[in-house]
């Protein structure tokens, strides 16, 4: 149950354990833990046992599977044929997917076993997992705190040993932030590196699928399986994938790490500031050279993102109209049917973003808002390109605070600010990850909570990024210093 994905796959391939044994252990953990943790919206016990049986049959037939018997939590905005796929929304509460997302299919083909569909902020819109319309997910390190969002269910499941790998999607930080809150590695690849076919869209030019794991090595293994061109996704990049799992390293000699001037940590409080200063010093101790870099447009990231993402969400969610699939609430005419369906089917945050996006795209405001935001986005890419002329990687916080208590951020702006450090990388399409970097004691808590260091690389620099994160993880071992109480 607590083995790494790499070790599970090794044992199952070697015949030391069967996939069914591993699956039964994890399903038992889910039954014990998840009623109070709430990581899963749908438990897939029967499907998991059938899948494990198929894996064991393939091993007996002489196959070697990269993810043999590895239990996987699938975020509930990814299609898995024959299973309920809800996006955490009443709009899709009873919808059953007729096909399987490419990224999910690649993991299953590699021997992974799906054990559940994980909770999430509704349609991936949120930073805490509090926006789910179908259930509450708690942080395994403190059950009174949020797990982060929007991939909060996947993060909680992996942290509480209810899966070895979690599948997440990241639009503005939705893999990296929950990873930081739950003491995990959360990895967002370059936009277009992993197929989005079968991922229910939020913002199509930003969404990217990636893994959450308890180690960099596990994340790299999952990434290697998922990545690559998919003819079913027109935004999928046709470029050879450089294997990452076999290129991990133990030091950072010769690596230049950029510290962004605009990403100062003094305003986050003395304890958090000290934590990140220690993290940067640890990078230097591993042989890295720290260099100062600038991102002049960094402060415009939130404004840019919260025009582009809602505009695309307004377009993408127009398909949920009560006509073809999902919730339908009848009315006296088609107009009233649309209104009632969308009023009852969507939650407050989704409605807020649809309204923002529709306004930004409306006649008379399109050039002033949406077009201007797209021009700003181009400037983000140019800023990062200049920064990477001086460094190989960029280091920064993954979140501005540790996990907070439920309902602590009641106004949208304070919640949106949680994405301040992660959004710029998303706007530029860069690969980025969060790796555990220590603990701080939140106000009003007696239990230290984990935080994450964000590392980012140039486009398609996944192997280099994961190699550096592995060196930092192996040297510091932050994730092993505290056990999640929700997993006991």
String of DSSP letters for 11-68: HHHHTSS-HHHHHHHHHHHHHHHHHHH--EEEE-HHHHHHHHHHHHHHHHTT---TTT
Catalytic annotation, pick one of 18, 75, 151, 169: 75
Q: Which two tokens stand for residue 228?
A: 């690559």
Residue 244, domain member (yes or no): yes
* Annotation marks residue 261 as catalytic: no
pLDDT at 24 over 90: yes
Check residue 443 and give its pLDDT.
83
Contacts for 197 with CB less than 8 Å, ≥ 6 apart = 101, 102, 230, 232, 233, 236
| pLDDT grade for 303, boundaries at 50, 70 and 90 | very high
Check residue 446 and give its pLDDT.
83
Residue 278 host element (H or E): helix 270-285
Q: Mean pLDDT, the chain, as a whole number?
A: 96
In 3D space, the residue among 388, 443, 425 whose CA is nearest the CA of residue 269 turns out to be 443
pLDDT digits (tens, 9 = 90+) for 227-282: 999 999 999 999 999 999 999 999 999 999 999 999 999 999 999 999 999 999 99
* Domain housing 63: 5-254+391-487
Residue 395 host element (H or E): strand 393-397
* Annotation marks residue 174 as catalytic: yes
In 3D space, the residue among 328, 256, 263, 265 whose CA is nearest the CA of residue 294 turns out to be 263
Peptide bond into 365 cis (omega under 30): no
Residue 99, domain member (yes or no): yes
CATH number at residue 82: 3.90.1300.10
Residue 344, domain member (yes or no): no
Q: Beta strand pairing status for 185-188 and 432-440?
A: antiparallel
CA atoms within 13 A on the CB side of 178: 45
Catalytic annotation, pick one of 150, 195, 314, 400: 150
Check residue 407 and give its pLDDT.
95
Check residue 487 and give its pLDDT.
64
Check residue 428 and give its pLDDT.
97
Residue 463, domain member (yes or no): yes
Residue 266, domain member (yes or no): no
Residue 367, domain member (yes or no): no
pLDDT at 486 over 90: no
Return the C-alpha torsion angle 453, 459, 465, 467, nearest 10.
Answer: 170
pLDDT digits (tens, 9 = 90+) for 388-410: 999 999 999 999 999 999 999 98
Check residue 488 and give its pLDDT.
58
pLDDT digits (tens, 9 = 90+) for 160-173: 999 999 999 999 99
* Annotation marks residue 154 as catalytic: no
Share of the chain above pLDDT 90, in %: 96
Check residue 410 and give its pLDDT.
85
Q: How far apart are CA 362 and CA 60, in angstroms?
A: 60
| pLDDT grade for 203, boundaries at 50, 70 and 90 | very high
Catalytic annotation, pick one of 174, 215, 396, 426: 174
- Mean pLDDT, rounded, for 82-104: 98
Residue 365, domain member (yes or no): no
What's the domain count of the chain?
Answer: 1
Check residue 445 and give its pLDDT.
80
- H helices of 388-436, in order, are 412-416, 423-428
Share of the chain above pLDDT 70, in %: 99
Residue 27, domain member (yes or no): yes
Check residue 477 and give its pLDDT.
96
In 3-state terms, what secondary structure has residue 113? strand
pLDDT digits (tens, 9 = 90+) for 29-58: 999 999 999 999 999 999 999 999 999 999
Contacts for 274 with CB less than 8 Å, ≥ 6 apart = none
């Amino acid at each position: 149950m607590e083995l790494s994905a790499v070790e599970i796959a090794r044992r199952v391939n070697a015949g030391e354990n069967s996939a069914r044994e591993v699956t039964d252990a994890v399903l038992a953990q889910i039954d014990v833990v998840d009623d109070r943790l709430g990581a899963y919206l749908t438990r897939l016990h029967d499907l998991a046992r059938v899948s494990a049986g198929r894996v064991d049959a393939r091993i007996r037939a002489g196959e070697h599977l990269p993810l043999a018997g590895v239990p996987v939590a699938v975020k509930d905005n990814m299609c898995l044929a024959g299973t309920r796929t809800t996006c955490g929304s009443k709009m899709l509460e009873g919808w059953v997917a007729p096909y399987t997302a490419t990224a999910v299919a690649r993991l299953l083909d590699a021997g992974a076993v799906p054990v559940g569909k994980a909770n999430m902020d509704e349609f991936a819109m949120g930073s805490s997992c509090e926006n789910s319309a179908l259930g509450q997910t708690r942080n395994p390190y403190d059950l009174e705190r949020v797990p982060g969002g929007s991939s909060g269910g996947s993060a909680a499941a992996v942290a509480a040993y209810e899966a070895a790998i979690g599948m997440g999607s990241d639009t503005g930080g939705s893999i990296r932030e929950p990873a930081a809150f739950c003491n995990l590695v959360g990895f967002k690849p370059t936009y277009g590196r992993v197929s989005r076919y079968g991922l229910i869209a939020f913002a199509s030019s930003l969404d990217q699928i990636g893994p959450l794991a308890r180690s960099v090595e596990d994340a790299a293994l999952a990434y290697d399986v998922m990545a690559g061109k998919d003819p079913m996704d027109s935004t999928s990049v046709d470029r050879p994938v450089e294997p990452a799992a076999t290129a991990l390293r133990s030091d950072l000699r010769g690596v230049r790490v950029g510290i962004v001037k605009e990403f100062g940590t003094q305003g986050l409080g003395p304890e958090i500031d000290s934590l990140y200063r220690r993290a940067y010093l640890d990078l230097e101790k591993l042989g890295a050279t720290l260099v100062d870099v600038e991102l002049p447009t960094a402060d415009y990231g939130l404004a840019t993102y919260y025009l582009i993402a809602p505009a695309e969400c307004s377009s993408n969610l127009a398909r949920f109209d009560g006509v073809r699939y999902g919730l339908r609430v009848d009315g006296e005419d088609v107009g009233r049917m649309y209104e009632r369906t969308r009023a009852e089917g969507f939650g407050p945050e989704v409605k807020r973003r649809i309204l923002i996006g529709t306004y930004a795209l409306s006649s008379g405001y399109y050039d002033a808002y949406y077009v201007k935001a797209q021009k700003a986005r181009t400037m983000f890419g140019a800023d990062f390109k200049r920064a990477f002329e001086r460094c190989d990687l960029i280091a920064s916080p993954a979140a501005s605070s540790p996990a907070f208590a439920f309902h602590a951020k009641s106004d949208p702006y304070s919640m949106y600010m949680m994405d301040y450090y992660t959004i710029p990388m998303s706007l530029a399409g860069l690969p980025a990850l969060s790796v555990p970097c220590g603990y701080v004691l939140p106000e009003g808590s007696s239990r230290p909570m984990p935080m994450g260091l964000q590392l980012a690389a140039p486009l398609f620099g996944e192997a280099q990024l994961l190699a550096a994160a592995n060196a930092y993880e192996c040297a510091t071992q932050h994730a092993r210093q505290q056990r999640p109480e929700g997993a006991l």
